Amino acid sequence: MAILTVGSSSQYKTISAAVLSSQSGDTINVTTGTYTNDFLTINHSLNLVAVGGVVKLVATAQPTNGKGYIDEGGAGVSVGITGFDISGVTVDDQNGAAIRYEGGTLTLSNVTIHNNQEGLLANPDANGVITISGSNFTANGAGDGYSHNIYVGNIASLTVQNSTITAAQVGHDIKSRAASTTITGNVITDGSNGTASYEIDLPNGGVADIENNYIQKGVNAQNPIAISFGEEGNLHANSSLKVAGNVLVNTSPSSNSTSLKNASGIVADMTNNSLFGWSAVSIGQVNISGTKTLTAEPTQPVAPIVAPPTPPPPTSTLPDTLVLTVSEDAWQGDAQFKVSVDGVDLGQTFTATASHAAGATQQIAISGNWGANAHSISATFINDAYGGNSAADRNLYLHSVNYDGHDSPNSSATYLGNETKTFNLASPISSDTLILTVAEDAWQGDAQFKVSVDGVDVGQTFTATASHAAGATQQITIAGNWGANAHTVSASFVNDAYGGSSATDRNLYVAGVNYNGHNVPNSSATFLSNETNTFSLAAPAPTFIRLHLAEDAYLGDAQYSVAIDGKQAAPNGTVTALNNAGNTFDLSIATAVASGWHDLALSFLNDAYGGSAATDRNLYSKGIDVNGTPVSGGAFTLLSEGAHHVAFFVP
């Protein structure tokens, strides 16, 4: 679960290159800017995050995949997109989408999608889930009546919340064939330029909840009806419709304008809505109560933009995650254990609290800088206790070990006494990035050089092409598995040439070395002959921070990010420990911070709410400790997306 960076001075220059290099579960942080015709095909789980401002994806040519600017997803795939602006997508069949969904779980936060033939076009997936929050869909549609701002096929669930959906071109603002559709807290309008048909079209019914929206039918609307339910038949089982607490405004000149058409044959509920300008409230079987008729057109609100904060590019890189799944037999106290990687103790004592007899487990997640090469991982049970029978016996059970998304084979173990068990894991992915900024004096050919890390040649010969005399530089990026502990990095000039004057001299210049986001001090050098220069990078002393997390799960598990002093401190993750069962997910972070006060921000990334306590996804911090000492204010609850900040002190 690595973090990749994109930008003019980052690890990758294009988003598509980063996507091709990414592994399932990675996060790609994209620096603000405009990326033209950088089309993406994503078929594994991935998070795309805009950093430093909006990332604009502009299509001036047809997408190479023939579908959309971003063609993403598939059964079981989870993709998150935050902070992107996508426009200009066209294809010959009039279905050029900003985002073409192919299945799985898609979460859109703080995105703007405008002036495309289709905004979001989603293929069917019976288990698919799409959540849109804090976003803006404007002026999408090819004008043919078959393309829309949002068009979702037969999936399990669509949620649109706290967003602005406006000015669809002839098609609908929202069309959903989902088994469950929740539309809450949005502004959905034609405005003065929109020519939409329906504002909301649910042609196959489903369980639909339309609450607390501002919905406006405009003067250029193609259809006099705002909300349509079940007009194509083939209804989902257990279909129902609730329309409550909305402001429904009609400014079209139609003499038969209607706020709701229910063609399903099922009795719908309209409760406590405020209406202006409609010829009729509804068509079909509808229970209506609490309707308020407005005598003046209300002012259109601005939909709240509620989106998770976007983390900056990591300057303190903790790319590795070790997850141990454990349980215990508790007797006169819980089972405790220590963990080491490659023989080095991580410096913490971990506690198992999940009952093995009850079939419960818990996950202990530890972030650090070890590199994704081969490792030995050891767990040591340290407080065995036995009272003479099976009911008076403290034991530890290790169910599995996972390192950077890779399960360690044969990593289950039962500890009946104080003992150590070691597991080996070889991981094929590259987690570390070494960047050398170089230039050259070229004469009868370019300067070439070799690079080694800790005395081991990386196996390539590199060529400098940027002119030192012109003040140009270039970046040579090398991926590997070295870990962010102490290292030596060496560069060797291998093809010096000299013709007797400064104009006939081939030289190499290293302007700087960067390792996993850390600039190596004193790493500039001038190579006037075939020679080697070596630079040292010292590993910072870690501070151990542990968060005890839990969740209320609804339509998926709670996702989180953690930042320390404004910098991402661990890969974004998912909590699976249920709060109502008393379970916790322990996230441990080993990081280097100076002595003094620091800020920790825990962000909830994917809130969901279905209208009741039983249909509410929440995130809980049950406590935070630093080097084993509890932090004041470390227990809190996140009921909606956003960050909660906690101050902690390091002596």
Sequence-distant (6+) residues with CB within 8 A of 572 are 1, 27, 47, 559, 560, 561, 605
Sequence-distant (6+) residues with CB within 8 A of 495 are 445, 447, 448, 506, 530
Average pLDDT over residues 288-312: 68
**Percent of the chain topping pLDDT 70:** 92
In whole angstroms, give the CA distance from residue 431 to residue 418. 34
Give me the torsion for CA of 313, 319, 325, 330, rounded to 10°.
-80
pLDDT tens digit sequence for 554-588: 988 899 999 887 778 888 888 988 999 888 888 88
pTM exceeds 0.75 for this model = no
- Identify which of 494, 431, 489 has the alpha carbon closest to the alpha carbon of residue 462: 494
Tokens 């909300």, residue located:
227
pLDDT value at 497 more than 50: yes
- Identify which of 553, 538, 546, 551 has the alpha carbon closest to the alpha carbon of residue 570: 546
pLDDT band at 431 (very low <50, low <70, confident <90, very high): low
What is the DSSP secondary-structure string of 533-593? Answer: EEEEEPPPPPEEEEEEEEEE-SSS--EEEEEETTEE-S--EE---BGGGT--EEEEEEE--
pLDDT band at 392 (very low <50, low <70, confident <90, very high): very high
Sequence-distant (6+) residues with CB within 8 A of 172 are 148, 149, 151, 196, 197, 198, 199, 200, 201
Sequence-distant (6+) residues with CB within 8 A of 409 are none
Average pLDDT over residues 220-228: 92
Sequence-distant (6+) residues with CB within 8 A of 399 are 325, 326, 327, 361, 412
Q: Which residues pair with 289 in a beta bridge?
A: 271
What is the DSSP secondary-structure string of 355-424? Answer: BTTTT--EEEEEEE---SS-EEEEEEE---EE-SSTTSEEEEEEEEEEETTEEPTT--EEESSS-EEEEE
For all residues of the chain together, what is the average pLDDT?
87
Strands 150-152 and 174-176: parallel
pLDDT band at 308 (very low <50, low <70, confident <90, very high): very low
Report the half-sphere exposure of 630 (CA within 13 A, side-chain side): 8
Report the half-sphere exposure of 51 (CA within 13 A, side-chain side): 24
Angle at 91 between CA 86 and CA 94, to 5 degrees: 100
Residue type, 435: I
Report the half-sphere exposure of 94 (CA within 13 A, side-chain side): 10
Q: How far is CA 476 from the centre of its chain?
A: 28
pLDDT value at 306 more than 50: no
Query: What pLDDT is stored for residue 126 in this prediction?
Result: 94
Strands 78-82 and 46-58: parallel
H or E element in which residue 15 lies: helix 15-21
pLDDT tens digit sequence for 512-531: 988 766 678 888 999 999 99
Residue type, 592: A
Q: 3-state class of 21 per DSSP?
A: helix
pLDDT tens digit sequence for 457-475: 888 899 999 999 999 999 9
Q: 3-state class of 389 per DSSP?
A: coil
- In 582-634 the beta strands, taken as DSSP E runs, fall at 585-591, 596-604, 608-609, 616-626, 629-630
pLDDT band at 57 (very low <50, low <70, confident <90, very high): very high
pLDDT band at 307 (very low <50, low <70, confident <90, very high): very low
Sequence-distant (6+) residues with CB within 8 A of 612 are none
In the DSSP assignment, the letter for residue 467 is: B
pLDDT value at 600 more than 80: yes
Q: Which residues pair with 455 in a beta bridge?
A: none
Query: What pLDDT is stored for residue 405 in this prediction?
Result: 65
Angle at 639 between CA 637 and CA 640, to 5 degrees: 130
| Both structure tokens of 613 | 């306590």
CB atoms within 10 A of CB 644: 15
Query: What pLDDT is stored for residue 311 in this prediction?
Result: 37
H or E element in which residue 18 lies: helix 15-21
pLDDT tens digit sequence for 316-358: 345 677 888 899 999 999 999 999 888 888 778 889 988 999 8
H or E element in which residue 433 lies: strand 432-441
Residue type, 505: D
pLDDT tens digit sequence for 60-90: 999 999 999 999 999 999 999 999 999 999 9
